[in-house]
Structure 1
Amino acid sequence: MKTLVVTADATITNGVAAAFPDQNGIDLTSVETVPAAINRLANTRKGGGQFDFVVLEFDLPGLSGLKGVNHLSDLHDRRPFALLMRGGSLELAQRAYRAGANAVISKDLPANEMSHALELARQGQFLCLFTDLVHNPAAISLVQLSERELQILRGLCDGLQNKEIAHAFSIQEVTVKMHMRAVVRKLGAKNRTHAAMIARDLNLV
């Protein structure tokens, strides 16, 4: 079983390896950056082979949100693909599934539960498994965003630029910029990138 793990966290790589201790012939490859993952998937496919399973840390810098997940999944020919993240929501899991990931799993799971979750994900089953840390209504209530602002925020977290968000919702780019400024202000963020990070921490997307 050829498995690609995309993370800069050795704990995650070791956890994936430990999830399949009784299987012979496991071939685990680990890369620490998104560009390295793209190159490895593209080169493997070009050589006539492919990975059986991809495990990706969703918080990895440079991923560009679900847009990046979709690109990696396409290179992986939509085969079993698991996202590991801290926090999350059912809505995000559904959108991740549409982007090509069949599993969204909390990074905070105990080792034995992580093993079971990864095994199910490797089999291609749709899986959404979070910890109690996900549900934090008190934190979410501190942020009051309009429905349009939430749409803009989701587009931002998917890695879309203002022009792409405007096209997606059939609005003017100047309107997107206006809402984006409001989102950044309401979240107390320094910039749009920081706003996306806060949104994920508060499970707003």
Structure 2
Amino acid sequence: MPTLLIADDHPLFRAALRSAAAEAAPDVATCEAETLDGVLQRLEADDAIDLVLLDLHMPGNHGLAGLAAIRAQYPAVAVVLVSANEDPQVVRRALDHGVAGYIPKSASLDELRDAIRTVLACEQWLPPALRAAVARAQSAPGDADLAARLASLTPQQFRVLSLVAEGLLNKQIADRLDVQERTVKAHMSAIFEKLGARNRTHAGVILRGLEISDPAQHVAR
């Protein structure tokens, strides 16, 4: 039985995705989260989750950073991004960072069902109206290399990197993760080497480079 995590802060859209999932795969089990922290907690608690439908701009997630976090910490879990952003360049970046599909919030119920069915069959899905434009879109310089470098981080190293990007110091990170400060320093050394970062500020800038502005932040998504 496939298990799907619907991650979106809008109840009505979660309901639409839940309905589409039930019709696409009658034996599917679903669970939900409203924030990126909630997504990561769900994944930590339930190793049976096969697929995450992740809102590109839900609370705690500002673009591709949430995707990178899931890919680094739970590499066996497939991720489909869901967004009102239909910029082919954004879709291209998402693909370069390992997304299994991209669903615009303008998608019809038939398209939602098709997307879920396709990804559960281990195939990639893109909206038909965007496929040609995405195929023409150029990858952002260094994105594929960055995706590989981020994927090389261990789950704990990625957690440390995320906290560095938030501006926390080593002692604060150690307290947050309940580890020794020397352990954090060891993780930082590995992060610098794997990312080619000069220092903690540079490492944080690299991760924040995955942020994508929300074109609908002043209107309802």
Q: TM-score, normalised by structure 2?
A: 0.55
1:116 to 109, 114, 117: 114
Tell me how far apart the structure 2 counterparts of residues 199 and 115 of structure 1 sit (CA, whole Å): 25
What is the CA deviation profile of residues 118-156 of structure 1, one whole-angstrom value per residue up to 9, with x for unaligned ones?
A: 211222322221768xx9xxxxxxxxxxxxxx98xxxxx
Q: How does 1:159-178 map to 2 (within 5 A)?
A: none
Runs of 4 or more consecutive aligned structure 1 residues displaced over 6 Å after TM superposition: 167-170
- Answering whether residue 214 of structure 2 is matched by residue 197 of structure 1, we say yes
- The verdict on how the C-alpha distance between 1:35 and 1:111 changes in structure 2, with shifts beyond 3 A counting, is same
Tell me how far apart the structure 1 counterparts of residues 72 and 13 of structure 2 sit (CA, whole Å): 23
Tell me how far apart the structure 1 counterparts of residues 18 and 32 of structure 2 sit (CA, whole Å): 10
Q: How does 1:13-162 map to 2 (within 5 A)?
A: 13-19=14-20, 20-21=22-23, 23-44=25-46, 49-129=47-127
Contact 2:4–2:29 (8 Å) recurs in 1? yes
- The verdict on how the C-alpha distance between 1:85 and 1:39 changes in structure 2, with shifts beyond 3 A counting, is same
Tell me how far apart the structure 2 counterparts of residues 78 and 89 of structure 1 sit (CA, whole Å): 27
Contact 1:105–1:130 (8 Å) recurs in 2? no
Return 5+ residue gaps in structure 1 as ranges.
136-149, 152-158, 162-166, 174-192
Tell me how far apart the structure 2 counterparts of residues 12 and 130 of structure 1 sit (CA, whole Å): 21
What is the CA deviation profile of residues 46-88 of structure 1, one whole-angstrom value per residue up to 9, with x for unaligned ones?
A: xxx3311110111212213212211123333243211111122
Aligned residues: 153
Aligned to 1:4: 5
Q: Which secondary structure state, in structure 2, belongs to the residue aligned with residue 41 of structure 1?
A: helix
Q: Letter of the aligned partner of 2:213 in structure 1? A: A
Q: Letter of the aligned partner of 1:91 in structure 2? A: Q
Tell me how far apart the structure 1 counterparts of residues 196 and 121 of structure 2 sit (CA, whole Å): 34
Q: Which secondary structure state, in structure 2, belongs to the residue aligned with residue 42 of structure 1?
A: helix
Tell me how far apart the structure 2 counterparts of residues 11 and 3 of structure 1 sit (CA, whole Å): 17
- The verdict on how the C-alpha distance between 1:110 and 1:168 changes in structure 2, with shifts beyond 3 A counting, is farther
- The verdict on how the C-alpha distance between 1:50 and 1:117 changes in structure 2, with shifts beyond 3 A counting, is same
Tell me how far apart the structure 1 counterparts of residues 112 and 82 of structure 2 sit (CA, whole Å): 10
Tell me how far apart the structure 2 counterparts of residues 22 and 98 of structure 1 sit (CA, whole Å): 26
User: RMSD across aligned C-alpha pairs, in angstroms?
Assistant: 3.9
Contact 1:81–1:122 (8 Å) recurs in 2? no
Tell me how far apart the structure 2 counterparts of residues 99 and 200 of structure 1 sit (CA, whole Å): 23
Q: Which secondary structure state, in structure 2, belongs to the residue aligned with residue 196 of structure 1?
A: coil
Tell me how far apart the structure 2 counterparts of residues 197 and 21 of structure 1 sit (CA, whole Å): 30
Q: Which secondary structure state, in structure 2, belongs to the residue aligned with residue 54 of structure 1?
A: strand
What is the CA deviation profile of residues 1-38 of structure 1, one whole-angstrom value per residue up to 9, with x for unaligned ones?
A: 11101111122222222223264432100111110111
Tell me how far apart the structure 1 counterparts of residues 118 and 26 of structure 2 sit (CA, whole Å): 18
